[in-house]
Amino acid sequence: MASRFGAAQVLVASNRGPVSYQVREDGSLHARRGGGGLVSGLSAIGPDAGALWVCSALGDGDREAVRRGVGEDGVRMLDVPADVHADAYNGIANSVLWFVHHMLYQTPLEPAFDAEFRRQWASYETYNRAFAEALAAEAAEGAAVLVQDYHLTLVPGMLRALRPDLRIGHFSHTPWAPVDYFRLLPDDIAEQVVRGMLGADRLGFLTRRWADAFTACCDAVAGGTGRVRIGVHGLGADAGFLRERAHRADVGERMAALRAEIGTDPGGRPRRTVVRVDRTELSKNIVRGLLAYRRLLTDRPEWRERVVHVAFAYPSRQDLAVYREYTAEVERVAREINGTFGTPGWTPVLLHVEDDFARSLAAYRLADVALVNPIRDGMNLVAKEVPVVSDEGCVLVLSREAGAFEELGPDALAVNPYDVTGTAAALHEALTTDPAERAARTGRLAAAATALPPERWFMEQLEALRG
In angstroms, what is the minimal distance from the CB of 119 to ligand G6P?
21
Strand, coil or helix: what is 53? strand
Give the start-end residues of each E strand in 178-323: 202-205, 229-232, 272-279, 307-314
Alpha helix segments (H runs only) across 50-186: 60-68, 82-86, 98-102, 115-138, 155-162, 179-182
Q: Does 466 bind ligand G6P (CB under 6 A)?
A: no
**How far is C-alpha 186 from the chain's CA centre?**
26
Strand, coil or helix: what is 174? coil
In angstroms, what is the minimal distance from the CB of 177 to ligand G6P?
14
- Sign of torsion over alpha carbons 331, 103, 146, 155: negative
Q: For residue 264, what are the β-bridge partners?
A: 270
Q: Does 265 bind ligand G6P (CB under 6 A)?
A: no
Give the start-end residues of each E strand in 262-332: 272-279, 307-314
Closest by Cα among 409, 401, 412 to 378 = 401
Strand, coil or helix: what is 161? helix
Size of the site for ligand G6P (CB under 6 A): 6
Mask of contacts with ligand G6P, 115-154, x by CB under 6 A? ----------------------------------x-----
Tell me how far apart the alpha carbons of residues 157 and 165 are, in angstroms, rounded to a whole number: 13
In angstroms, what is the minimal distance from the CB of 317 to ligand G6P?
5
Compare residues 170 and 271 and give the one whose CB is closer to ligand G6P: 170
In angstroms, what is the minimal distance from the CB of 17 to ligand G6P?
10
Q: Phi/psi of residue 55, each to 5°?
A: -140, 180
**What are the Cα distances from residue 161, in Å, to 123, 136, 164, 199, 200?**
20, 10, 6, 9, 11
In angstroms, what is the minimal distance from the CB of 14 to ligand G6P?
7
* Residues of this chain, 349-408, that bind ligand G6P according to CB under 6 A: none
Compare residues 316 and 433 and give the one whose CB is closer to ligand G6P: 316
* Residues of this chain, 29-58, that bind ligand G6P according to CB under 6 A: none
Among 5, 9, 16, 443, binds ligand G6P (CB under 6 A): 16
Widest pairwise Cα distance in the chain: 81
Among 22, 316, 338, 433, binds ligand G6P (CB under 6 A): 316
Q: Does 317 bind ligand G6P (CB under 6 A)?
A: yes
Q: Does 20 bind ligand G6P (CB under 6 A)?
A: no
Instruction: Please calculate the CA angle 360-361-362 and round it to the nearest 5 degrees.
Output: 90
Compare residues 173 and 254 and give the one whose CB is closer to ligand G6P: 173
3-state helix, strand, coil in the chain (%, to 5): 50, 20, 30
Q: Which amino acid is at 268?
A: G
Compare residues 17 and 393 and give the one whose CB is closer to ligand G6P: 17
* Residues of this chain, 168-197, that bind ligand G6P according to CB under 6 A: 173-174
Q: List, in order, residues 6 or more apart from 94 with CB less than 8 Å away.
A: 317, 320
Mask of contacts with ligand G6P, 74-103, x by CB under 6 A? ------------------------------
Q: For residue 91, what are the β-bridge partners?
A: none
Q: Which amino acid is at 391?
A: D
Q: For residue 204, what are the β-bridge partners?
A: 171, 231
In angstroms, what is the minimal distance from the CB of 98 to ligand G6P?
8
In angstroms, what is the minimal distance from the CB of 290 to ligand G6P?
22
In angstroms, what is the minimal distance from the CB of 148 to ligand G6P?
7
Strands 272-279 and 413-415: unpaired
In angstroms, what is the minimal distance from the CB of 43 to ligand G6P?
18
Closest residue by beta carbon to ligand G6P? 173
Q: Does 254 bind ligand G6P (CB under 6 A)?
A: no
In angstroms, what is the minimal distance from the CB of 316 to ligand G6P?
6
Compare residues 149 and 411 and give the one whose CB is closer to ligand G6P: 149
Report yes or no: 103 and 181 within 8 Å, Cβ to Cβ.
yes
Compare residues 154 and 431 and give the one whose CB is closer to ligand G6P: 154
Binding site for ligand G6P (CB under 6 A): 16, 149, 173-174, 316-317
